[in-house]
Structure 1
């Protein structure tokens, strides 16, 4: 009986012990499962390190230029932009101009027809004939007056008529020249109803606003011509940045459609007038003209404003994840930590580091940094 009681007691003690051990294991498992894993640490095995060779470096002092990034558009000074019109108007009889075509100074770019041209030539020839008659009459009256055969009044009237006809003829001559008719070459045998329109500059056609057969008024602009010799870039610079700019400073510009194609030049004029939007106009001249640059085209520009020594890293050290920049720092052999980094300007493959204090005396990964990022994020995804 006593032995039976002892056996039961021993069995109870054994169950109590097993239960306590099991609870201890569960508690340990629970504690382990609740311990957070550092998701900024990545460790490579020997095999991974062999396939992904890692190179490290430290912050180094580099000469980094501060670059001012601004935008503007292609502009042409008024003296290089020509609006072609016909002072007396008329019908466009002929033209072969298209936007982008090159024109030479003195080249016929259009022919205008107008019955008014005929009337103008007629009036001029008649005024010229009347002037000749008035001159003869004046000379006759002058001789008669000298011999006392004519009064001073008659001679003065003849002189007045001669002067009036001369004024009339000269006025009509100027009107003829406005429509490109040379009055000196005009006679009764070469009166015409159409006149040529000439290009006044060497350049190219910017706009064509008319078509053949259309009637144009004196105020209408038929064509717009551009002399590209002084085409320039008009940049909009905020007032706070003006002090960093000076005449002769170099710039590099590019369009949104072809950012890889750079156009260089220099600043030629800095406006002293601040616009209502807080910007001032900075005029820049291109080093070499390109016919693809047309007035009104928007461009981005970069201007190196100053050069200073800065702590920098190779650009390949930087990785970007979810819109933020990071670098990997060596914690110990084959183990690396991802740390946020604040970037500045870049030049010649190096980029300025602003939060320098976070990387003092630390080794930073320069080669295969993105491979470490992929390994880190893939490992985190698998453990989830």
Structure 2
């Protein structure tokens, strides 16, 4: 009796995370260009390095086999940076936005001529560089596989945006969106939802077109919400906002890895990818950025309006076998339950602001939460 194709098991998938932080004055809560000083105190390298402006620093974990190991390293790196920031008279802020207006033109990294060229070509778009995301790397994947998997993961990008929504305030005002970073970042011509790629050749042609058209300086400026990494053998999920809570970071990583695992199994079983309307997915992305976790979203496959919480729970249910196999289901379930009970980062920021109508309270809350773990 034929039991079907003998499918090779999905190989163990690894995790890595990049997190971007702002540096702020603890009295005025304005961003301060102290990244060179803070980084000099901890030593730059593979794990801690500069970002696009001197208001920012970034950590990049080593490759982790488990979510627990990933959390431990994220916590350790954050503690090192927070201590160095305080030693130089500032605070480390796990915030997607500076919240308050940036009063001076962006202080780009003096040792990065590429940043200067970027500023000259893209002008006011570079104001959005003073914003922070969280990038999840899942590997090991060759480019062909990463492209095929990306097509199957992209319908869930809006739900990941809603889960991580943490940027309601930007430029000193409530934007009316839960993740204004998702909206602001998508103004770059090389950002937003990636195309659906018909092949690896199509993917490479799309990247080449971004560069030849002037929409990107180089492959590092491929800012899509999801992409095969240009540096590592990974699929890189770039959609979520930065947030203080380590458990949310681990949730993003666990869900990303499980989405890749499901995609790999379906590919090997010969299952076709469910059809997704490009218009529906574009609107679903906006609705997720607007409503966050507290409002409504669009089912990416039908366009049906559903509570964002129901979409998040549906994603968890879909991925439960893969999460369980990786040992991540209990943590993912508990973290999602906490988010649904206490609200997203955007909801909590607005609650803090509502007490006194003072954005400094929001920044103080974010700084304290960044150091809490």
The verdict on a shared fold, with TM-score over 0.5 as the criterion, is no
Bigger relative CO (Cα 8 Å, ≥ 6 apart): 1
Instruction: Pick the structure with more strand per residue.
Output: 1
- Structure with greater Cα Rg: 1
The TM-score, its normalising length taken from structure 1, stands at 0.17
